[in-house]
Amino acid sequence: MAVEMLSYIDRKSPVHALSGATKLIAFLMWSSAAMLSYDTRVLLVLFVLSIYIFKISQVKIREIGFVLAFILAFLLLNNVAIYIFSPQEGVKIYGTSHVLIEIVSRYNLTLEQLFYQFNITLKYFVVIPAALLFIVTTHPSEFAASLNKIGVNYKIAYSVSLAFRYIPDIQREFRIIAQSQQARGIDLSRNEKVWKRVKNVSTIVFPLILSSLERIEVVSNAMELRGFGKNKKRSWYSEKPFKQRDYITIIIAVLLLVLSLLITFHDGSRFYNPFI
């Protein structure tokens, strides 16, 4: 069957027990801390913490393996690109230059550049587990409720969660259409030239759009007939009420954010400089 990426993974764990809104707030704080800070000490602490949280969530690495591999590939690409476009960024930031290997003109390998790129990679590693955890431990029904709770209009929140929900359906439909087109001789395999393949995919996209439009009409009628959009506010059946652990989590998240910003900026620079 179609690979189900980023779908909810049901476990009994402290992370799952938290309300979706709590997780969303904590995730936003967490990623702001990771985004704003280049302080290696802060990032390392956050990294260790995120590994720990991942551990207690009881989600297995292989369950999110595909997405993780995808992100890591992207990270690698990102690192290569940074080096190609700005090989002296580290030197500029840290003010010293410890050359390890000379390559060509400005393309040398400095300790500063390595350290800078290590920091960037670390940022990824702080944010990725948190982001993935938020997605795979929040039940899709609760997803919209948590967006709404932090102030997003419920119509928008619902659209977002509906869109997520239809991804598997659309994958399935895509497969059905692709197979019926292949039967008529439309080749999507590597035997065909790239340009021809792209053109061939368009014969699938057209029916896919048509059937998606049909689906949208049915759902929007069904929703309107059951009173969606009538009031300014609505309640949520699967919203988890806030418990003590939710408050504690949010307080910890806020403290972590404040603390990491204090440590990062106390000397007026976002960077921790081990070279002076």
From the list 157, 168, 163, 167, the residue with the least C-alpha distance to 236 is 157
6: left (phi over 0), alpha (psi -120 to 50) or beta: left
Q: Does 87 bind other proteins (CB under 8 A)?
A: no
Instruction: State the Cα–Cα distance between residues 173 and 10, nearest whole angstrom.
Output: 25
Query: Which of 12, 84, 102, 185: binder of other proteins (CB under 8 A)?
Result: 185
End-to-end CA distance of the chain, in Å? 56
Minimum distance, C-beta of residue 87 to other proteins, in the bound complex (Å) = 48
Instruction: Give the tokens for residue 191.
Output: 């035997």
Mask: binding to other proteins, 147-176, rule CB under 8 A, as x and -? ------------------x-------x--x
- C-beta of 88 vs 211, nearer to other proteins: 211
Stretch that binds other proteins, among 19-27, 95-103, 117-125, 199-207 (CB under 8 A): 199-207
C-beta of 59: minimal distance to other proteins in Å? 19
Neighbours of 172 (CB within 10 A): 12
Q: Which stretch binds other proteins (CB under 8 A): 17-25, 104-112, 228-236, 256-264?
A: 228-236
Site string (95-134) toward other proteins, x via CB under 8 A: ----------------------------------------
Which of 85, 194, 195, 231 contacts other proteins by CB under 8 A?
A: 231
Per-residue DSSP letters for 177-234? HHHHHHHTT---STTS-HHHHHHHHHHHHHHHHHHHHHHHHHHHHHHHHTTTTSSS--
Phi and psi at residue 115, in whole multiples of 5°? -65, -40
Q: Should residue 89 be labelled a site residue for other proteins when binding is judged by CB under 8 A? A: no
* 6 binding other proteins? (CB under 8 A): no
